[in-house]
């Protein structure tokens, strides 16, 4: 019986070895073909719409037993490595290492991308405006706490194009230096939005602690390393990077806590077949102006998925509106609606059209 089992294992392993060799040869062939395509793309290094089409197709073809998420991760990393064979893309994000922005970057661009950490969202925007990096990734909204105000303000100020989006499921962990128990915690450091997303858990388990706001959750994890009565709210990667113990897992109040990120670059994405368009609008100061701006969308059957207002920095009680539409700005019905909106708006700027992110 033992001999038969060992023979069966040896045969299965031999079969796996043969498959691995075949996969390796196919990966090499794919990299060569990707390199040839890269030479024909006339200087355009990265096409998010093409990658979206590839991943969408693979998800539809997936026969199992691996999950769709696992398949998407494997092929995202494969495409990242093939792209790096030409030249790795350079992507800016809000640092330090271990932030959710970095996690979103890795989800979208893979581990072969060159990551540039920045200390503020302003610096992240500047990196792509000055072409110090090829792309930048910034948080735009959270499913619980809403829009990220500074990102909206910078979208108004900076001449950037939105060419992609990332939806990242957020799981907050409470972490502290090794050996520090939950009962010793007197301060909790985190980004203000994360504190708000964990409000109920903190009230139930740490009602008397001081909540200390900081620029990012990774910065919070970095700060508490040398403290004996403090904890941080951050993601798993921050606990590993800064050698912290996780005292409590998944302390967010909602199980569907998701943050949406914009990928920004210096070129527009072409249609992928399943796209969104983001607009920046300033309405004329007259009764019914907003209704007038939105009417073309209804008339042409264009679905609006988001409407956000932000005080304008130029004039008291004037507002900038951010709108997301389903469809690409080159789609016929979207194009017609946008032409009519531009006639009615004081300002109408297409921030970008881009592939819809897989959840």
How far, in Å, CA of 16 to CA of 232, rounded? 44
Q: Which of 125, 135, 261, 262 is flagged as catalytic?
A: 261
245 pairs with which residues across the strands? 176
Q: Give helix 2-40 / helix 68-86 axis angle, nearest 10°.
A: 50
Confirm whether 258 is a catalytic residue.
no
Active-site option among 259, 262, 321, 322: 259
Facing residues of 260 across strands? 141, 167
How many C-beta neighbours within 10 Å does residue 242 have? 21
Strands (E), the chain: 90-94, 114-118, 135-142, 146-147, 161-169, 173-177, 187-190, 210-213, 230-234, 244-248, 258-265, 275-282, 304-311, 319-326, 347-355
Cα 31 from Cα 24, distance rounded (Å): 11
| Known catalytic membership, residue 261 | yes
How many CB atoms are closer than 10 A to CB 156? 17
Helices (H) and strands (E) in the chain, counts: 12, 15
Residues 56/274, Cβ–Cβ less than 8 Å: yes
Which H or E run contains 71? helix 68-86
| Alpha-carbon dihedral sign for residues 190, 183, 247, 252 | negative
**Alpha carbons 299 and 304: distance in angstroms, whole number:** 12
DSSP-derived secondary structure for 217-256: HHHHHHHGGG-SSEEEEE-HHHHHHTTEEEEES---S-TT
CA dihedral 55, 250, 197, 354 (to 10 degrees): 0
- The Cα–Cα gap between 169 and 74 comes to 18
- Which positions are annotated as active-site residues? 259, 261
């Amino acid at each position: 019986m033992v001999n038969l089992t060992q023979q069966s294992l040896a045969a299965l392993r031999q079969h796996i070895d043969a498959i691995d060799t075949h996969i390796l040869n196919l990966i090499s062939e794919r990299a060569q073909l990707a390199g040839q395509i890269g030479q024909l793309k006339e200087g355009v290094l990265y096409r998010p719409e093409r990658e979206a089409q590839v991943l969408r197709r693979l998800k539809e073809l997936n026969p199992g037993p691996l999950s769709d998420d696992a398949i998407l991760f494997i092929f995202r990393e494969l495409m990242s490595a093939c792209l790096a064979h030409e030249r790795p893309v350079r992507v800016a994000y809000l640092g330090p290492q271990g932030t959710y922005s970095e996690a979103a970057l890795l989800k979208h661009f893979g581990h072969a991308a060159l990551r540039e950490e920045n200390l503020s969202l302003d610096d992240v925007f500047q990196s792509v405006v000055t072409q110090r990096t090829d792309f930048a990734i910034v948080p735009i909204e959270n499913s619980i706490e809403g829009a990220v105000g500074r990102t909206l303000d910078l979208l108004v100020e900076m001449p950037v194009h939105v060419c992609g989006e990332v939806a990242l499921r957020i799981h907050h962990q409470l972490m502290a230096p090794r050996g520090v128990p939950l009962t010793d915690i007197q301060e909790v450091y985190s980004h203000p939005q994360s504190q708000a997303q964990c409000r109920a858990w903190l009230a139930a388990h740490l009602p008397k602690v001081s909540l200390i706001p900081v620029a990012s959750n990774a910065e919070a994890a970095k700060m508490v390393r040398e403290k004996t009565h403090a904890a941080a709210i951050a993601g798993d990667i921050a606990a590993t990077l800064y050698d912290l113990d996780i005292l409590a897992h998944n302390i967010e109040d909602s199980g569907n806590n998701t943050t949406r990120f914009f990928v920004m670059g210096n070129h527009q994405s072409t249609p992928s077949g399943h796209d969104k368009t983001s607009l920046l609008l300033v309405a004329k100061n007259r009764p019914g102006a907003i209704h007038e701006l939105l009417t073309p969308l209804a008339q042409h059957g264009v679905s609006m998925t988001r409407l956000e207002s932000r005080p304008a920095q130029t004039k008291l009680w004037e507002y900038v509106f951010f709108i997301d539409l389903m469809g690409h700005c080159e789609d016929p019905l979207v194009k017609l609606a946008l032409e009519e909106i531009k006639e009615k708006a004081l300002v109408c700027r297409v921030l970008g059209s881009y592939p819809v992110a897989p959840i």
